[in-house]
Amino acid sequence: MQPLANVTPLKPAPRAGSIQIRDVGQIFKTPTQDVEALSNVSLEVKPGRFVVLVGPSGCGKSTLLMMMAGLRQQTSGTILINDAPIPQPDPDRVGVVFQEPSLFPWLTAEENVEFPLALRGVAKSERRGKAEDALKLVGLEGFGKRHPHELSGGMKQRVSIARGMVQDPPVLLMDEPFAALDEQTRMTMGDELLRIWAATGKTVVFVTHSLTEAVYLADEVVVMSARPGRIVDHLTISLPRPRTYDMLSGETFGTLRDRIWRHIRKSA
Amino acid sequence: MSSTTLRRLIVISLIVLWELLPRAGFIPELFLPSLSSTIAAGWNDAGEYGHALAVTLYEVGISMVFACGGGILAGAIVGSLPRPRVLIMPMISSIYAVPLVILYPVFTVWLGIGSESKIAFAAIYGFLPTMLSTAAGIQTIDPQLVLAARSMGATLSQRLVRVIVPAAIPTVLSGLRVGGALVIVGVVVSEMLISSAGIGYLISRYRTILDSAHVFAGVLLVLAMAIAFNAAIKWIERKASIWQTGSRAGQRAADDITAAAVQPAT
**According to the model, what pLDDT value does residue B27 have?**
84
* Contacts of residue B229, Cβ cutoff 8 Å, sequence gap at least 6: B180, B181, B184
* Chain A: closest CA distance from residue B134 (Å): 18
pLDDT given for residue A54 in this prediction: 92
Contact B246 A105 (CB under 8 A): yes
Average pLDDT over residues A29-40: 85
Residues β-bridged to residue A85? A80
Count contacts between A and B (CB, < 8 Å): 67
**pLDDT at B255 exceeding the cut of 50:** no
Closest Cβ opposite residue A147 in set B145, B158, B243: B243
In chain B, which residues have their Cβ closer than 8 Å to the Cβ of A71? 147, 150-151
Least Cα distance to B219 among B199, B238, B196 occurs for B199
pLDDT confidence of residue B90: 82
pLDDT of residue B260: 42
- pLDDT 10s digits, B9-24: 999 999 999 888 888 8
Residue A8 has pLDDT above 60, yes or no: no
Arithmetic mean of pLDDT, B239-252: 50
Q: Could you check whether the bond before residue A148 is cis, i.e. omega within 30 degrees of 0?
A: no
- For range A210-236, the mean pLDDT: 89
pLDDT bin (cut points 50, 70, 90) of residue A219 is: very high
Mean pLDDT of B81-92: 80
Residue A55: band (very low, low, confident or very high) from pLDDT cuts 50, 70, 90: confident
Predicted local distance difference test score (pLDDT) of residue B254: 42
- Give the pLDDT mean for A17-21: 90
CA distances from A170 to A10, A25, A128, A165, A222 (A): 15, 25, 21, 9, 20
Query: What confidence category does residue B258 fall into, taking pLDDT thresholds of 50, 70 and 90?
Result: very low
Instruction: Tell me which amino acid residue A99 is.
Output: Q
* Model ipTM over 0.90: no
pLDDT at A6: 53
Residue A83: per-residue pLDDT? 87
Rounded Cα distance between B46 and B40, Å, is 9
Q: What percentage of residues in chain A have a pLDDT greater than 90?
A: 40
pLDDT given for residue A268 in this prediction: 61
Stated as kind and residue range, the H or E segment containing A94 is strand A94-97
* Type of residue numbered B158: Q
Is residue A54 classed as helix, strand or coil in its secondary structure? Answer: strand
Chain B nearest C-alpha distance from A179 (Å):
15
Give the end-to-end CA distance of chain B in Å, rounded to a whole number: 39
pLDDT, one tens digit per residue, over A98-156 is 988 899 998 999 999 999 999 988 899 999 999 998 898 888 888 999 989 889 888 99
Residue of chain A whose Cα is closest to the Cα of B166:
A106
3-state SS record for B99-143: CHHHHHHHHHHHHCCCHHHHHHHHHHHHHHHHHHHHHHHHHCCCH
Average model confidence (pLDDT) across chain B: 83
* Nearest-angstrom CA–CA distance, B136 and B139: 5
Q: Which residues pair with A27 in a beta bridge?
A: A36
Q: B54 pLDDT band (50/70/90 cuts)? A: very high
End-to-end CA distance of chain A: 38
Rounded-to-integer distance, Cα A135 and Cα A165, Å: 10
Length of chain A (residues): 268
